[in-house]
Amino acid sequence: MSRTQPAASSDDQRTVLGIRHSPVTGTIPPGACDCHVHIFGPFDRYPLAENRVFMPGLASTDDLLALHAALGVDRAVVVQASPQGTDNHCMTDALATLNAAGHASRGVAVLPPDISRDDLRALHAAGVRGARVNLQSFGQQDPAIVRDALARTAEQVA
């Protein structure tokens, strides 16, 4: 089985947390959007954050395009993944590749605390329309930290 072809049965699929997936049946409506995808690698071009809590496998834009072609999906939201930290280049490059291929795509970025207005404008120009605050990925559960991070992010994008 390759990354871009469905497994022969749900027993053959690697899953997160042991969850088993059912085969896709029926048709997906035109204009369907895969609303939360991640792109990983190549890691020599897009290194992962030092403080990541897991090591993802490679998942390229070509893999995503092949999967979406097989499923009949023509839009996507590429979400900055926690192992990538606040370096959004993999996500924004993926947006450029997907949109150039006619695959209407938008992005969700993770913002560094010191992001400039120019960098925010560049993210917007690249197709980013959302900001992600994902503290759980780094073991943060303190409500005060969460509240402060949400307030800071809201101020950054206001």
Instruction: Of 33, 131, 118, give the one whose Cα is nearest residue 80.
Output: 131
pLDDT of residue 139: 64
Instruction: Of 131, 38, 42, give the one whose Cα is nearest residue 91.
Output: 38
For residue 92, give the CATH number of its domain: 3.20.20.140
pTM above 0.85, yes or no: no
75-79 vs 128-131, strand pairing mode: unpaired
Q: Residue 95: inside a domain, yes or no?
A: yes
pLDDT digits (tens, 9 = 90+) for 76-99: 999 999 999 999 999 999 999 999
pLDDT of residue 137: 57
Q: Residue 17: inside a domain, yes or no?
A: no
pLDDT of residue 25: 80
Number of domains composing the chain: 1
Instruction: Please state whether 80 falls in left (phi above 0), alpha (psi between -120 and 50) or beta.
Output: beta
Q: Residue 140: inside a domain, yes or no?
A: yes
Q: Residue 10: inside a domain, yes or no?
A: no
Mean pLDDT for 13-32 is: 76
Q: What gap in Å lies between CA 101 and CA 97, rounded to an integer?
A: 6
pLDDT of 43 over the 50 cut:
yes
User: What is the span of the domain harbouring residue 106?
Assistant: 26-157
Average pLDDT of the chain to the nearest whole number: 86
